[in-house]
């Protein structure tokens, strides 16, 4: 197995088994074959942001790909350090004038929503086996939600589902994605 697969395969399993499997994103299943998985080995924000910009360029030149999951292999296990990186990546979209063309979603093994306890199951709606920057085409998001009744209810529905499943079960699913 190549070194990229060590990082890509757990994230692919997570997308298929958790994101699609629990329907946390009702649009993900339709885009599975239009999703790009790539790995950044950067340990500093500057290196990862360069990889992030490369993915923006890739998406701009490859319209058949709907989104990219940029998996962070090293250096961002600390959630607060990761959040700093997310803010910088989001600012990069503004700096390049790409707000409205792309949007950023964030996933991390220790994701914690502001104001929620670390062990609240709701955090698992944004927990992934590895840190990920998810770059999405805004046009694809708009198209997907235009065919979905009350998309504003998705987060509330996901929180209720996560709480019904429980932290222990959801953590087992994440662990399963890593060790398979």
Edge-to-edge strands, sheet with 102-107 = 35-40, 67-72, 132-137, 102-107
Coil/strand/helix, residue 63: coil
Distance CA 53, CA 57 (A): 6
Tell me the pTM: 0.94
The predicted pLDDT at position 3 comes to 76
Instruction: Quote the pLDDT of residue 180.
Output: 67
Dist CA 110 CA 121 (whole Å): 12
pLDDT of residue 118: 94
Q: What is the pLDDT of residue 148?
A: 82
Block means of pLDDT (10 residues each) for the chain, length 180 residues?
85 97 92 96 97 97 96 96 98 95 97 95 97 95 86 93 97 91
pLDDT at 147: 81
């Amino acid at each position: 197995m190549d070194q990229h697969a060590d990082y890509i395969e757990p994230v692919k399993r997570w997308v298929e088994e958790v994101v699609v499997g629990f329907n946390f994103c009702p649009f993900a299943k339709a885009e599975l074959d239009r999703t790009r998985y790539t790995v950044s080995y950067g340990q500093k924000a500057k290196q990862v942001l360069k990889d992030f910009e490369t993915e923006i360029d890739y998406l701009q030149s490859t319209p058949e790909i709907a989104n990219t999951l940029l998996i962070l292999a090293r250096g961002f296990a600390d959630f607060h350090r990761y959040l700093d990186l997310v803010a910088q990546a989001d600012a990069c979209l503004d700096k390049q004038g790409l707000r409205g063309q792309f949007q950023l979603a964030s996933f991390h093994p220790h994701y914690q929503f502001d104001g929620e306890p670390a062990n609240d199951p709701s955090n698992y709606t944004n927990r992934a086996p590895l840190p990920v920057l998810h770059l999405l085409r805004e046009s694809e998001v708009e198209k997907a939600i235009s065919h979905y009744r009350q998309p504003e209810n998705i987060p509330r529905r996901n929180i209720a589902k996560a709480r019904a499943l429980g932290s222990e079960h959801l953590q087992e699913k994440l662990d399963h994605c890593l060790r398979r």
